[in-house]
Amino acid sequence: MDLLIGHEGMLGRAWKQVLERKETPFVAVSRPDFDLTSSASLERITDGTYRRVINCAAWTDVDGAEDEEERATEVNGHAVGRLARRCASAGSVLVHYSTDYVFDGQASEPYAVDAEYDPINAYGRSKAVGEAAVREAGEQHLILRTSWLYAPWGNNFVLTMRRLGAQRDALNVVDDQRGRPTSAQHLADASYRLLEAGARGTLHVTDGGECTWYDLAKAVVETVNPRCDVQPCSSDAFPRPAKRPAYSVMDLGPTEALIGTMPDWRANVAAVLAQA
């Protein structure tokens, strides 16, 4: 029996699809009935019943974390640590998700799984605390770093560009941040396959290929309104409370050695748009 935490979120919904398709017995919990920061909630789910605990719950408001770093760190860091320790005591494998934002964005080649932390915003710092806490709790865990998450549901960049592209004649999109988009459906499926392959430790899972936000937006808009003129601009044109890394491409080599080549982001985006 598996436990899925946060099944109503963007990634949690994708995980629910995978578990149902694989006919894997599971229990799903989410807010308000389950609170990752609540000791009472944790006691309910760490009694040894679950073989694997998949944690899709997180503080995801990157800009909001700048003003509420303590709260973000409680959810993404300290609460995750308590969950990890309870899973270790119960003999459950913990699957936990982290982010490219634990890196500084100054690299010129993909970040290795063991690259040094240097987060440049509060959200990245909160996720780095969570990663460290999971590792300290024991060896039976799988930390999966991902980036630029999107899905056929929820609030995400791909669906926003699809809506705006259909409504407007022109869009300006940031072209000085480079990374790897990630379909939540691909991420959940790849995560399941990694577990089945016995993967442990830290790995990266994203779509294949790399692009800027402008490249991604242009690919999306072309499918809904080719007449919309998508133009590149710098990050300075859209100031945000949280600083974003300029380069956050992560190395997929160890992951692909276990489960094969990651599908290109263009194919995954097309598949998501076909469902939206």
Separation of alpha carbons 139 and 87, rounded Å: 11
- Cα distance between residue 82 and residue 85, in whole Å: 5
CB 73 within 8 A of CB 133: no
Instruction: Give the integer Cα–Cα distance in Å for 65 and 63.
Output: 5
Q: Is 146 left (phi over 0), alpha (psi -120 to 50) or beta?
A: beta
Which listed residue (50, 101, 111, 123) is catalytic? 123
Give the angle 224-225-230 at the CA atoms, nearest 5°: 115
CA distances from 194 to 189, 197, 201, 202, 227 (A): 9, 5, 11, 11, 41
Task: Give how far the C-alpha of residue 222 lies from the chain's centroid of Cα atoms, to the nearest Å.
Answer: 25
Pairing of strands 170-174, 229-233: parallel
Q: Write the DSSP symbol of residue 212.
A: E
N-to-C CA span, the chain: 31
d(CA 154, CA 148): 13
Indicate if 123 belongs to the active site.
yes
Please return the burial class of 39, using the count of CB atoms within 10 Å of its CB with bins 0-12, 13-18 and 19+.
Answer: exposed
Active site residues: 123
